[in-house]
Structure 1
Amino acid sequence: MTLTDTDLETFARDGHIAIRGAVDRATVDDCRAQLWDLLAESPDDPLSWTEPVRRVDSPMTPSFAAAARSPALTEAYDQLVGPGRWTQRIELGNVAVRFPTATESRDTGWHIDASFLPPGASRYFVNVSSRDRGLLMLFLLSDVGDDDAPTRIRSGSHLDVPHLLAPFGEAGVDMFDIAGELDAIGSRETPERPEVLATGAAGDVHLCHPFLVHAAQQHRGTRPRFLSQPGLMLTEQFDLDHPRSPVEQAIIAGSSGLSPSTAG
């Protein structure tokens, strides 16, 4: 299997694990070339890089489908979420392209990603059982070093979020209503909650617990950074009364104050 027992213990403790080389280089290079074709900016003309970030939906093409269906990733999905409980993507969702500019992007606050739209609501919610979302995934579609706007991760913060969400029950809460609390969780760095950067080579994928608090940052490097951040969506909702996966067990651990290894 893709993940060893040690990897699963790391995911339970930290809320994230990197699958290095999950997508082969030829495939990811072709994905990036297709994205450049959708952008007004030119890869060879830094003078065209005037905005700090551009967002573009990944096309439904064979290369993006191949990246989404990487065998190493699908095995890891089964290990973290459970066989038959997740939906196979055929693309990689929205891609954030960050450029090295002096302009602030104003989207660098600590947060988690919302997961479902209640009937009649205009904004997305999240609830304590992570309705509809099994994982947050960070697909590196370009090489990402420390200066290339890597996603900032508050390691272990997935254990702090269930306690915040529990009072709202299964109905959940509008993400904007808890933005301040999530930013406070992300802003507190302790030895148990260090900041980690989602760096790596093009084709690496960071698999994250859906409650992992993370943040974007400004680009200080020299080459544009391509990152897609799709969710792994559920076909079968998590059952916190009968947890069967590392993701569920971590939610129980965060709700109860137990260590992830003893939860569930």
Structure 2
Amino acid sequence: MTSPSPALSPAQIEAFIEDGFVRLDHAFPSALAEAALPILWGATGCDPNDPTTWAKPVVRLSGFADPPFREAANTPLLRSTFNQLVGEGRWVPRGGLGSFPVRFPSPEAPGDDGWHVDASFGTENPDFFEWRVNLHSQGRALLMLFLFSDVGEEDAPTRIRIGSHRDVARYLAPHGDGGRSLRQFLDDGFDWSADRPETLATGPAGTVYLCHPFLVHAAQPHRGSRVKFMAQPPLLPSAPLQIDRRDGNYTPVELAIRIALDKQP
């Protein structure tokens, strides 16, 4: 099979290394989002036409492997971008998408809107807060945000601390392969990234944000009127990330870590 043509410009790749994310417009057709929404609404147990059934600020749905989700995860644009950011042959194609934290307009606090990074290994532990992250991002090549509904500034867009992936790399560096647990991250706090500028993951359905696995981000209360549907799956690596390669053939994900640790000019 012929590899897809490069999707990102050199400037976009540099921005990913510097900022920790890149936004892809029209990453998958909006028609796939429209086909997926009835499936997602059915799984929530809520009526899209009756806001009185929207009783909770957030309903969490697991993964979906129906055709709209499989196709959305595997467009030529996304495959090309995965190759550019993670390396050709270094990632695992997805058979679907999940999880979906479906966010409803609500005066209640969602209870999950603190700053954090997503854990990537140790997930066999029943205690979620013991899941872990290490400097090689074991088990995660990218954090991805797939917008299945239009998301404006009032629709609980994910908050992103620009450049915070470099702070996390420096935080993890002394802790070896064992890394740090989510509990240790939270106990230590995220004040060391608090001075980073923030942006919001907004956009029409079909937009995808591809994020460095160390990017600090957070949910927020929903102040709008339309329900937000977003998948936040990982892109799994087929081989561990490396920050000391003999051939020097580093991917943008790896380069960002090396720069944070002053290993790269």
TM-score tier by shorter-chain length is over 0.9
CA contact (8 A) 1:112 1:182 kept: no
Deviation per residue, 1:150-183 (Å, 9 max, x gap): 0000000011111110111112121111114453
2:119 partner amino acid: A
Q: CA separation of 1:223/1:169 partners in 2, compared to 1, >3 Å: closer, same or farther?
A: same
**Matched AA of 2:144:** M
Query: Do the aligned residues in 2 keep the contact of 1:109 with 1:183 (CA within 8 Å)?
Result: no
Counterparts in 2 of 1:38 and 1:116: CA distance versus 1, 3 Å: same
Q: Which runs of 5+ in 1 are unaligned?
A: none
Q: In 2 relative to 1, CA 185–228 (structure 1 residues): closer, same or farther, beyond 3 Å?
A: farther
Return the offset for 1:205: 0.1
Which digits, 9 at most, give the CA deviation of each residue in 1:115-138, with x for residues without a partner?
A: 011787853111011112100000
How far apart are residue 32 of structure 1 and its match?
A: 1.6
Matched, 1:158 2:165: yes
Aligned mate of 2:252, from 234, 246, 252: 246
Are positions 1:133 and 2:140 aligned together? Answer: yes
User: 2: distance between equivalents of 1:241 and 1:136?
Assistant: 22
Shift of 1:57: 1.6
What letter matches 1:221 in structure 2?
Answer: G
C-alpha RMSD of matched pairs (Å): 1.6
| Aligned residue-pair number | 255
SS at match of 1:36: helix
Shift of 1:185: 3.5
1:38 counterpart letter in structure 2: A
**SS of equivalent to 2:229:** strand
Contact 1:35–1:58 (CA<8 Å) still a contact in 2?
no
**Separation in structure 2 between the aligned mates of residue 119 and residue 6 of structure 1, nearest angstrom:** 39
**DSSP 3-state at the match of 2:96:** coil
Rounded to whole Å, the distance in 2 between the matches of 1:111 and 1:12 is: 19
Counterpart position of 2:90: 85
2-side partners of 1:13 and 1:103: how far apart?
A: 35
The code of the aligned residue for 1:251 comes to I
The correspondence of residues 34-73 of structure 1 with structure 2, limited to 5 A, is: 34-73=39-78
Q: Is the 8 A contact 2:134 2:180 kept in 1?
A: yes
The alignment partner of 1:133 has SS state of coil
Unaligned runs of 5+ in 2: 1-5
The amino acid across from 2:157 in the alignment is P
Distance 1:207 1:182 in 2: 24
Deviates more, 1:120-129 or 1:33-42: 120-129
Q: Which amino acid aligns with 2:158?
A: T
Question: Is 2:181 the partner of 1:174?
Answer: yes
Residues 195-206 of structure 1 aligned to structure 2 (within 5 Å): 195-206=198-209
Distance in 1 of aligned mates of 2:59 and 2:126: 27
Return structure 1 stretches of 4+ with deviation > 6 angstroms: 118-121
Residues in 2 aligned to 1:147 and 1:17: alpha-carbon distance in whole angstroms: 21
| SS across alignment from 1:225 | coil
Which letter maps to 2:63?
A: S
Measure the CA separation in 1 of the matches of 2:260 and 2:92. 25
Name the CA distance, whole Å, in 1 between partners of 2:123 and 2:28: 34
Q: Is the 8 A contact 2:121 2:132 kept in 1?
A: yes
Residue 10 of structure 2 is aligned with which of 5, 8, 18? 5
- 1:216 is aligned to 219
AA partner of residue 160 (structure 1): D
Identity among equivalent pairs (%): 43
Cα 1:101–1:254 change in 2 (3 A) is same
Using structure 1 for the length normalisation, give the TM-score.
0.92
Matched, 1:115 2:116: no
